[in-house]
A and B are shown apart, each in its own frame.
Chain A
Amino acid sequence: MIKKLALAAVVLGALSGAAVAETVVRIGLAEDPDVLDPTLARTYVGRLVFASLCDKLFDIDEKQNIVPQLALGHETSADGKTVTLKLRPGLKFHDGEALDAEAVKFSLERHLTMPGSFRKAEISSVEKIDAVDPTTVKLSLKNPFAPLIAQLADRAGMIVSPKAAKEAGDKFGLKPVCAGPFKFVERVQQDRIVLERFADYWNKDNVFVDRVVFRPISESTVRLANLKSGSLELIERALATDIKDIKSDAKLRLATQIEMGYQGITLNVGNSDNGKNGPFGKDPRVQQALEAAIDRDALNQVVYNGEALPGNQWVSPNNAYYQQKFALPKRDVAKAKQLLKDAGVATPVVVDFLVPNGPDTRQLAEVVQAMAAEAGFDMKIRVTEFATSLNEAEAGRYHAYLLSWSGRVDPDGNVFSFMSCTGPNNYAKYCSPEMDAALAAARIASAPAERKAAYETVAQMALAGGGIIYLYHRPVIIAHTVKLSGYKQLPDGLVRLTGVKVQQ
């Protein structure tokens, strides 16, 4: 009897729950995010959660233009060394504290000084931060730095509650307090992250979702199955090969964009003796030969069902900074063979091809291997687990390394760290004073035309033998149920729920 009553209560509870249901959006993530502290965070998937949790000073739009978010605008002085930010008035954090100039100063200083901060390098050009008045922040720079505002449109621009951050110290990520459209409720590692609507959000009139639940589900097939069975409302990183399937399902909708990052092959031109004496270190024409041997369109068809955008530079052909002058070449096996001959290397050119293990990297590597073989390369694939591959690449124990980059808003973020002599991501150990000068010039110049001119030199040198062959820009593929309306996809791949409505 008691059992029956209890059961009835449960059923009733479920029914009444449905009647006054809050609107929930459950999102399937491809990985479990790392720590939810903007200063210490470092993964792409973590940014997906931050998009709902922590607002930034600036944001981007569909064309990658910088638009206001917490800040209304900015002004750069003529010498480029002072940047003044104007904040929205009356902003509040999730804990009710005021988000004013002092709070912005605190957050930026936290990024700059906290031990283990991954933001420091991004805004290290900032020397001093002053809160002029409650809505005005003045940044004094060591030197002009064009990518700064773009950095403030990413994690470096996320503002955290000073009160909560001081209390929690480096444990802040366990219970983050920010100023985004949703506030933190709970997190069970590897199971779920729950957020709920923030009543005092500055743009609350455009938030129609009560609760957001993020669930990490690593298998893409299972992620899609969950979406189809109705236990999720949205999934990120659906497979290109599933696009047809998603389109044919009347209950599902697709949102795609071309990513800001790229898929490339890093070539060891000068990392350790293995690199210097390796095929690509000896003569830059070997890199040109390998590039000529690759058919990017075929690669795109086979690996991405034609959904990716082939490219040969660090930004996609859609980007304003893409150098049309060096537009995408067609595959040319004869030219590749000739280049190898000119370089005077013995064929077949044996290449130790390091491939980090992933769902599609193996296939991509096999296709590249087959294409390169026709031009006289013998690419020996070595699939290793990701952590090991980083180690091998750093030590220079490779000739070619299949590596992708998730992309940054400013073109500088996609190239500087890879091609400047001391760049931390320069696995190829490519180094040229001329390249360094061009990269620095693009950082200092503030006018887009001037920057683009500087990047022309970069593109020319990169293509001639910069140690990276850019292959294509992958599609960002988001699938959601028809219950969601008003969803818009931006090229950064993040999920923004502002403006999204849920139909019950």
Chain B
Amino acid sequence: MIAFLARRLLQIIPTLILVSVIIFLLQQLLPGDPATVLAGEERDPEVIAQIRQQYRLDQPLPVQYVYWIKGVLSGNLGESMRLKEPVARLVAQKFPVTLQLALMAIVISLSIGVTAGVVSAIYKNTAIDYTVNLLALWGISTPNFWLGILLISLFSVQLGWLPASGYVSPFEDFWLSLKTTIMPAFVLGNSFAAVLMRHTRSAMLQAMAADYVRTARAKGLSERVVVIKHAMRNALTPVVTLGALELGTLLSGAVLTEQVFSIPGFGKLIVDSVFNRDYAVVQGVTLVTATTYILLNLFADVAYVLINPRLRG
């Protein structure tokens, strides 16, 4: 197990280098000049040239890359062109927000998705199965921003139960924090719950048809024990992987939802920075989310091996 862990940890290094290169190439792909975008309506050519020089935009890409990587290795993620703030500070400000939202969404989707998946697998091809399936389909086929606005107009405008947008830290006011994040977390979790439900159902059906489950049944174990101890244990392997992958995605991908609910997290920060060509922020934030994502992957792989020891080796 230790050898396996060490190997996986070593694999992270080339992946991270690749990620940093991809992020840099992305910057080259994006049309538009950061200095021009930064200037906006105030298009003074002299100032634009000055900005280019100040942020080394006039230098060749490899040179820029070396400067950036040097900074990163010494713990300096650079400075936002648009806001004149260190990227590290922006990351520290946004990370807890997005993490809270992502975790809440994962909890919501796991509790809905896995339960629904197991139930519909057990009651395969009955009315219960169909109903659960339909609900899951509804969840996945509703675009996030559309559902978000519907929820806002119902719970905030019509009923006045929940704040329409914004974010409050749980350390500031726990209940208010829960109230501001429950709708976006539900919107995020809702669509993923459907994915989880389908995978759980599929995996459960496969597992329940497998030999060891049949053997367990043949031994006269109760259906409950068969389902929980034998089928679920195996069926949940891909689900765990997916859950970890999704958490990584949520850390950076809650873009439209964060936009609709005006949540000051990573997704909103990245998109705003892409549109403003604020490269230092895009690079810094993407690097942080990518690293988190890769670590979560490692965790998923370890879980995979723990559950399915045959893969160890």
| A interface residues (Cβ-Cβ under 8 A, vs B) | 32, 34-35, 37, 40, 42-44, 115-118, 120-121, 170-171, 173-174, 188-191, 215-219, 221-222, 225-226, 228-231, 385-388, 390-392, 394, 405-406, 417, 424-425
B296 interface residue per 8 A CB criterion = no
**Hey, which chain A residues are within 8 Å of B30, CB to CB?**
387-388
Closest beta carbon of chain A to B302's beta carbon, Å: 35
Q: Which segment, of B19-27, B31-39, B102-110, B132-140, faces chain A?
A: B31-39
CA distance A171 to B259 in the complex (A): 28
- Whether B44 pairs with A118 at a CB distance below 8 angstroms is yes
Q: Tell me the smallest distance from the CB of B71 to a CB of chain A, in Å.
A: 18
A191–B250 CA distance with the chains assembled, in angstroms: 19
B227 contacts chain A at the CB level, 8 A cutoff: no
Known contacts A190-B264, A226-B163, A387-B32; 19 additional CB pairs below 8 A are A42-B40, A115-B50, A118-B39, A120-B44, A189-B83, A189-B269, A190-B268, A215-B262, A218-B259, A219-B262, A221-B152, A222-B260, A222-B261, A225-B164, A226-B156, A229-B163, A229-B164, A388-B30, A390-B36
Compute how far the CA of A118 lies from the CA of B272 in the bound complex, rounded to whole angstroms: 21
| Residues of B near any A CB (own CB < 8 A) | 30-33, 36-47, 50-51, 54, 82-85, 90, 93-94, 149, 152-153, 156-157, 160, 163-167, 259-262, 264, 268-269, 272, 275-277
Beta-carbon contact of B264 and A391 below 8 Å: no
Known: A217-B262, A424-B45. A170 touches B84 (CB 8 A): yes
Instruction: State how many angstroms separate the Cβ of B278 from the closest Cβ of chain A.
Output: 10
C-alpha gap A225/B30 in the complex (Å): 34
- Residues on A with C-beta less than 8 A from B261 are 222
Task: Report whether B166 and A117 are in contact in the complex, using a CB–CB cutoff of 8 Å.
Answer: no
Q: Which of A34, A37, A405, A417 is packed against the most chain B CB atoms within 10 Å?
A: A34
When chains A and B are docked, how far (Å) is the Cα of A386 from the Cα of B51? 20
Contact, CB under 8 Å: A42 / B264 = no
**Chain B residue at minimum C-beta to C-beta distance from A393:** B36
* Nearest chain A CB to B125 CB, angstrom units: 42
A43, B277: Cα distance in complex, Å:
15
Q: A35's closest neighbor in chain B, by CB?
A: B84
Contact of A174 among B32, B85, B152, B268 (CB under 8 A): B85
Q: Which residue of B33, B90, B275 is within 8 Å of A386 (Cβ)?
A: B275
Q: Is the CB of A121 within 8 A of B164?
A: no
Considering the complex of A and B, which 3 residue pairs feature the smallest CB-CB distances, nearest first?
A387-B32, A191-B264, A424-B43
Closest to A384 in B: B31
Q: Are B37 and A42 touching (Cβ within 8 A)? A: no
Closest to A357 in B: B275
Contacts of A385 in B (CB 8 A): 275
Known: A219-B259, A222-B164, A387-B277. A174 touches B84 (CB 8 A): yes
Docked-complex contact B33 and A231, CB < 8 angstroms: no
Contact A391 B33 (CB under 8 A): yes
| Residue of B31, B152, B261 with highest tally of chain A CB at under 10 A | B31
